[in-house]
């Protein structure tokens, strides 16, 4: 066991106690009673003196173990800082890396490597490297200082030099004497096996066949060729290459075998195994474990090289001696059943056989031949369905098993779900398999399926699910299609369609929202900010700030209890649609603008509002004059009031036979986009940050900028989304600091009296400050946009105090019409403190005198919210003063004295 640096050891022990509840055991050098992250039992243990590993003590039921560098990469990824090179020790960083990160004995590998440096112009960063010279020129080197800064490039060959056709051989391996030579993938894998007396060379790539090296070895060894063991990484591509390389090597005269490390929950290579073996203190137990792991790897290698299904079935029977089991061969599902009576007869026939080749067989060879003759191997599916994991929706209590179906031909792999009922019955399993994969047929029996599912589903990992796209507050993770961001780190969806973090497996069930997010920073076009400013100025930057702030709406609501709504209004042709569609592209959504809630059912609206988290939901209100809308379709904005605080979208029952209910919270942000001003109660208006766009004066430059914004694709600018979400912690830090500063500034403006207006606009100003972490906003742009936001706050206060333009015009027309005569003209009320108006009649009188009004449908909505003359009733029967005056003037043409009116306080 290698000594651990004291500072690292202290930090590791602190984290193990905090995260896994590992406790020191008195009188021993062990930590025990930790919670295993795999099985959840309190059987986890580690060493207190050298905590390089944590391991589950349930050896037969779990037995999982993790190297500390897997758990805490940040403690082991900057070796130049931890062990800086000096003139006296020029290889100090490389020595420390190889000793502590790789577990190598420096005395064994002394002189095999040097410490060098690498600089990336693209990343603008450098790193120390561990460099190994190659026999035929060039080198291979591993970056050892925070290699994640360089993307996928963690190692590299000398520029312009290719090791094609050759291998890297450890200097201690004498190729002229070895009887068995292992060919592994990486240089560190070869060194790891060398530590345990196994002669190994590195092919340096799974696809590289060391043709020249094998020919040279054959020439030097004459006819005494060593047996080759192809021991590349256990990955689909590498497995194909092992079969291919073994066949090519046999043509050169080599006897070939293979070795494959079983892969369970995570990738394990030979260097990983070497470090696990070092964790075992007892030399006898360590030797036994090494022997068992090597034998198991050889067994899996034999399965890989099996030429027929029958041969593979016999190998599996000999390994475990199970009489019935399923197995896969060339992506077809087979069933093996041992008939002992046939086996005994076959043994007797071979023992009494007169054939010369049978008489030459020893007991083991005779047994193997008898097994092949009596083992019943039957194909039960023309494909291979494999259960990958279990997923559950905790809210609806629905669950599924997620399967992958592979085919022996060139058809692509299919992945989909099976319910519990579909994996429990052969007939249902057969129908579901046919439905999800074309031509996939299962012909096995119910008993066979039961045994297959028992094996596949036992200990199956569980993946947590969310039913929306965006930020999961419970998991602290952004999920966007095939990309996710957690704690500033970008992750791509794995081959099994979920995201795997250190202690979390997560996926989204939401499939209706397509996102085109470009994870490559080199494709990100940054000139869009200048075009946006040229077209929309400070108002465009305010809208951008809201879109940016929406990415953190959940975090802001959790800490500050609210997040504002945005209203975008303006004249026709002012560019609202151009702006909104471009802002959506920044979030990876092409051709998106919003939706009209008037065209949705109540259930559809509820689902639409819950599809995303930390993203805007844009409400496009239907035109009030739309004949399809009608008066009954007038939209009520007040229903959105609870969403300001992220409260529930409404209560529904859960279909589980009980009385459980589901009220999902509002996780997104809300944008109203329309031509007319939002007409709603003061409670809604104070929740809104409003932008109003005027039709601009178009210049050739602004027209070109608008065209450029329209022509940009989501893939050109959606990297903005990743830049923003990866900066989550810094953004929230700036927001917390600045929001208090801006609240004080707004409170100092005596014209603003509503606290909610102050809070909303202070949040927008703080988000504008945070936006500079992601975009190069100039000081002038910042100053102008701040002034715009302050003006918007003042306008919002004014909007609270005043009626909408349509209402003010209505009352102006009312005053004009009433002034035309000493008798009442449109006010039917006989009480001086009330005004009673029949709207249809009012519109008729206004038209007679050529007065312009909003249409009656719009007035019916807006007049309910009249502030200068509050509305008391909308359908009251009134003893009409107008009719009484008319009837007195026209005794022969009497009209009804009672009229249905809208009644206002005078």
Q: What is the pLDDT of residue 754?
A: 86
696 and 703 in contact (C-beta within 8 Å)?
Answer: no
Residue 309 has pLDDT above 50, yes or no: yes
* Residue 363, φ and ψ in degrees, nearest 5: -60, -40
Residue 264 has pLDDT above 80, yes or no: no
Residue 246 has pLDDT above 50, yes or no: yes
Residue 7 has pLDDT above 80, yes or no: no
Q: What is the pLDDT of residue 726?
A: 93
The Cβ-side half-sphere exposure at 897, using a 13 Å CA radius, reads: 8
DSSP string, 134-153: -TTS-EEEEE-B-GGGGTT-
453 and 387 in contact (C-beta within 8 Å)?
Answer: yes
Q: Which of 175, 174, 184, 233 is nearest to 210 (CA)?
A: 184
* Dist. CA 848–CA 780, nearest whole Å: 53
pLDDT single digits (tens) 729-778: 999 999 999 999 999 999 988 888 889 999 999 999 999 999 999 999 99
DSSP string, 171-183: TT--TTT-SEEEE
Q: What is the pLDDT of residue 392?
A: 86
Buried b (16+ CB within 10 A) or exposed e, 104-116: beeeebeebbebe
Residue 594's contacts (CB-CB under 8 Å, 6 or more residues apart) are 580, 617, 618, 619, 620, 671, 673
Sheet with 477-480: strands ordered across: 489-492, 483-486, 477-480, 469-472, 612-613
* Dist. CA 819–CA 549, nearest whole Å: 51
829 and 903 in contact (C-beta within 8 Å)?
Answer: yes
Buried b (16+ CB within 10 A) or exposed e, 326-344: bbbbebbbbbbbbeeeebe
Three-class secondary structure of residue 857 per DSSP: helix
- Please indicate whether residue 132 or residue 460 has the higher confidence score (pLDDT): 132
Identify the band that residue 50 occupies on the pLDDT scale cut at 50, 70 and 90: confident
Residue 238's contacts (CB-CB under 8 Å, 6 or more residues apart) are 185, 206, 232
* Dist. CA 14–CA 501, nearest whole Å: 21
Direct distance between the N- and C-terminal alpha carbons of the chain, in angstroms, rounded to an integer: 90
DSSP string, 783-810: HHHHHHHHHHHHHHHHHHHS--HHHHHH
Q: What is the pLDDT of residue 81?
A: 86
Q: What is the DSSP letter of 512?
A: S
Q: Which of 210, 198, 209 is nearest to 298 (CA)?
A: 198
The residue extents of the domains of the chain are: 6-75, 87-97+105-162, 169-305, 382-460, 464-508, 521-801, 805-905
Residue 630 has pLDDT above 50, yes or no: no
DSSP string, 88-140: S-TTHHHHHIIIIIS---HHHHTTS-EEEEEEETTTTEEEEEEEEE-TTS-EE
DSSP string, 616-632: EEEEEPPPTT-TTT-GG
* Dist. CA 60–CA 278, nearest whole Å: 20
Chain position carrying tokens 């692509």: 412
Residue 628 has pLDDT above 50, yes or no: no
CA dihedral 835, 836, 840, 846 (to 10 degrees): -30
Chain position carrying tokens 């942000």: 669
Ranges assigned E (strand) in 530-651: 565-570, 612-613, 616-620
Sheet with 180-184: strands ordered across: 200-202, 180-184, 227-230, 256-258
Q: What is the pLDDT of residue 364?
A: 66
Identify the band that residue 629 occupies on the pLDDT scale cut at 50, 70 and 90: very low
Residue 390's contacts (CB-CB under 8 Å, 6 or more residues apart) are 399, 400, 401, 402, 457, 460, 461, 462, 463
pLDDT single digits (tens) 722-733: 999 999 999 999
Q: Which of 703, 670, 675, 674 is nearest to 688 (CA)?
A: 670
Mean per-residue pLDDT for 803-820? 87
- Please indicate whether residue 12 or residue 298 has the higher confidence score (pLDDT): 298
The correct answer on CATH 3.40.1360.10 for the domain covering 169-305 is yes
42 and 35 in contact (C-beta within 8 Å)?
Answer: yes
Mean per-residue pLDDT for 107-126? 90
pLDDT single digits (tens) 813-827: 999 998 888 888 889
* Dist. CA 553–CA 668, nearest whole Å: 7
Residue 657 has pLDDT above 70, yes or no: no
Identify the band that residue 626 occupies on the pLDDT scale cut at 50, 70 and 90: very low
* Dist. CA 244–CA 327, nearest whole Å: 22
Three-class secondary structure of residue 481 per DSSP: coil
Residue 353 has pLDDT above 80, yes or no: no
71 and 54 in contact (C-beta within 8 Å)?
Answer: yes
Residue 620's contacts (CB-CB under 8 Å, 6 or more residues apart) are 593, 594, 595, 596, 673, 674
Q: What is the pLDDT of residue 724?
A: 95
Strand (E) or helix (H) holding 771 = helix 755-771
Three-class secondary structure of residue 271 per DSSP: helix
Residue 8's contacts (CB-CB under 8 Å, 6 or more residues apart) are 75, 76, 82
Residue 283's contacts (CB-CB under 8 Å, 6 or more residues apart) are none
Mean per-residue pLDDT for 35-57? 84
> How far is the CA of 616 from the CAs of 218, 403, 610, in angstroms?
67, 34, 11
Question: CB neighbours (10 Å) of residue 890?
Answer: 10
Residue 523 has pLDDT above 70, yes or no: yes
* Dist. CA 531–CA 703, nearest whole Å: 10
636 and 621 in contact (C-beta within 8 Å)?
Answer: no
Residue 820 is encoded by which pair of tokens?
Answer: 């035309």
pLDDT single digits (tens) 331-350: 999 998 887 777 778 778 77
Provide the pairing of β-strand 483-486 with 332-338: unpaired
99 and 1 in contact (C-beta within 8 Å)?
Answer: no
Chain position carrying tokens 């509820």: 606
Identify the band that residue 623 occupies on the pLDDT scale cut at 50, 70 and 90: very low
């Amino acid at each position: 066991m290698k000594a651990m640096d004291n500072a690292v050891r202290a930090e590791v022990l602190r984290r193990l106690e905090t995260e896994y509840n590992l406790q020191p055991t008195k009188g021993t050098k062990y930590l025990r009673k930790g919670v295993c992250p795999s099985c959840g039992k309190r059987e986890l243990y580690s060493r207190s003196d050298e905590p390089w590993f944590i391991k589950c003590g349930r050896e037969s039921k779990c037995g999982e173990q993790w190297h500390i560098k897997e758990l805490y990469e940040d403690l082991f990824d900057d070796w130049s800082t931890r062990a800086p090179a000096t003139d006296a020790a020029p290889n100090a960083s490389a020595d420390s890396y190889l000793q502590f990160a790789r577990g190598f004995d420096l005395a064994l590998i002394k002189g095999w490597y040097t410490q060098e440096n690498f600089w990336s112009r693209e990343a603008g960063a450098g790193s120390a490297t561990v460099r190994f010279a190659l026999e035929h020129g060039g080198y291979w080197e591993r970056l050892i200082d925070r290699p994640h800064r360089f993307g996928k490039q963690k190692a590299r060959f000398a520029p312009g030099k290719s090791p094609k056709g050759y291998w890297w051989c450890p200097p201690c391996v004498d190729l002229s004497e070895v009887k068995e030579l292992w060919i592994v993938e990486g240089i560190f894998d070869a060194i790891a096996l060398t530590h345990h007396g196994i002669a190994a060379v590195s092919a340096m790539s799974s696809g590289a066949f060391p043709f020249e090296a094998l020919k040279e070895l054959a020439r030097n060894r004459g006819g005494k060729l060593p047996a080759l063991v192809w021991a590349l990484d256990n990955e689909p591509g590498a497995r194909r290459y092992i079969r291919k390389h073994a066949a090519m090597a046999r043509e050169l005269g080599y006897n070939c075998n293979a070795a494959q490390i079983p892969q369970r929950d995570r990738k394990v290579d030979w260097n990983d195994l070497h470090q696990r073996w070092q964790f075992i203190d007892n030399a006898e137990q360590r030797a036994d474990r090494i022997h068992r792991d090597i034998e198991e790897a050889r067994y899996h290698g034999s399965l890989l090289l099996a030429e027929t299904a029958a041969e593979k079935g016999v190998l599996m029977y000999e390994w475990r001696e199970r009489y019935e089991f399923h197995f896969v061969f060339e992506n077809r599902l087979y069933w093996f059943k041992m008939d002992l009576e046939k086996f005994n007869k076959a043994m007797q026939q071979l023992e009494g056989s007169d054939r010369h080749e049978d008489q030459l067989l020893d007991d083991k060879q005779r047994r193997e031949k008898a097994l092949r003759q009596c083992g019943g191997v039957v194909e039960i599916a023309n494909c291979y369905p494999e259960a990958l994991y279990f997923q559950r929706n905790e809210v609806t209590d629905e669950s599924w098993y997620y399967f992958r179906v592979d085919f022996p031909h060139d058809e692509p792999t299919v992945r989909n779900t099976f319910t519990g009922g579909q994996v429990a019955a052969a007939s249902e399993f057969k129908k579901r398999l046919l439905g999800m994969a074309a031509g996939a047929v299962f012909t096995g029996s119910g008993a066979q399926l039961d045994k297959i599912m028992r094996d596949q589903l036992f200990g199956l990992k569980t993946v947590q699910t969310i039913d929306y796209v965006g930020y999961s507050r419970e998991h602290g993770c952004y999920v966007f299609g095939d990309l996710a961001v957690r704690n500033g780190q970008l992750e791509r969806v794995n081959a099994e369609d979920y995201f795997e973090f250190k202690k979390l497996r997560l996926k989204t069930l939401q499939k209706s929202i397509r996102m085109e997010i470009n994870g490559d920073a080199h494709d990100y076009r940054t000139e869009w900010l200048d075009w946006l400013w040229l077209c929309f100025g400070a108002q465009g930057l305010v809208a951008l700030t809201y879109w940016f702030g929406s990415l953190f709406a959940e975090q802001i609501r959790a800490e500050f209890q609210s997040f504002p709504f945005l209203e975008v209004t303006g004249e026709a042709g002012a560019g609202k649609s151009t702006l909104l569609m471009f802002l959506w592209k920044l979030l990876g959504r092409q051709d998106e603008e919003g939706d009209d809630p008037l065209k949705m059912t109540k259930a559809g609206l509820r689902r639409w509002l819950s599809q995303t988290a930390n993203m805007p939901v844009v409400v496009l209100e239907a035109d009030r004059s739309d004949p399809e809308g009608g008066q009954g379709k007038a939209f009520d904005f007040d229903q959105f009031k609870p969403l300001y605080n992220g409260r529930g979208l409404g209560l529904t029952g859960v279909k589980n036979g009980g009385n459980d209910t589901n009220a999902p919270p509002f996780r997104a942000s809300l944008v109203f986009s329309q031509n007319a001003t939002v007409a709603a109660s003061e409670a809604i208006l104070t929740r809104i940050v409003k932008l109003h766009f005027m039709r601009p004066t178009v210049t050739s430059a602004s027209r070109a900028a608008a065209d450029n914004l329209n022509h940009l694709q989501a893939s050109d600018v959606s990297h903005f989304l990743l830049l923003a979400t990866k900066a989550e912690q810094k953004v929230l830090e700036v927001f917390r600091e600045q929001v208090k500063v801006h609240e004080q500034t707004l409170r100092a403006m005596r014209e603003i009296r509503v606290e909610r207006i102050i809070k909303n606009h202070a949040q927008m100003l703080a988000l504008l400050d945070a936006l500079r972490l992601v975009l190069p906003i100039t000081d002038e742009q910042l100053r102008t946009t701040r002034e715009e936001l302050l003006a918007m706050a003042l306008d919002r206060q004014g909007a609270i105090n005043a009626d909408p333009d349509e209402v003010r015009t209505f009352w102006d027309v009312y005053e004009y019409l009433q002034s035309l005569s000493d008798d009442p003209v449109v006010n039917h009320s006989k009480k001086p403190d009330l005004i009673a108006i029949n709207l249809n009649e009012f519109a008729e009188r206004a038209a007679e005198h050529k007065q312009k009004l909003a249409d009656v449908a719009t007035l019916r909505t807006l007049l309910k919210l009249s502030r200068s003359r509050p509305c008391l009733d909308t359908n009251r029967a009134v003893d009409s003063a107008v009719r009484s005056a008319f009837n007195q003037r026209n005794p022969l043409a009497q009209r009804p004295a009672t009229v249905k009116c809208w009644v206002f306080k005078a």
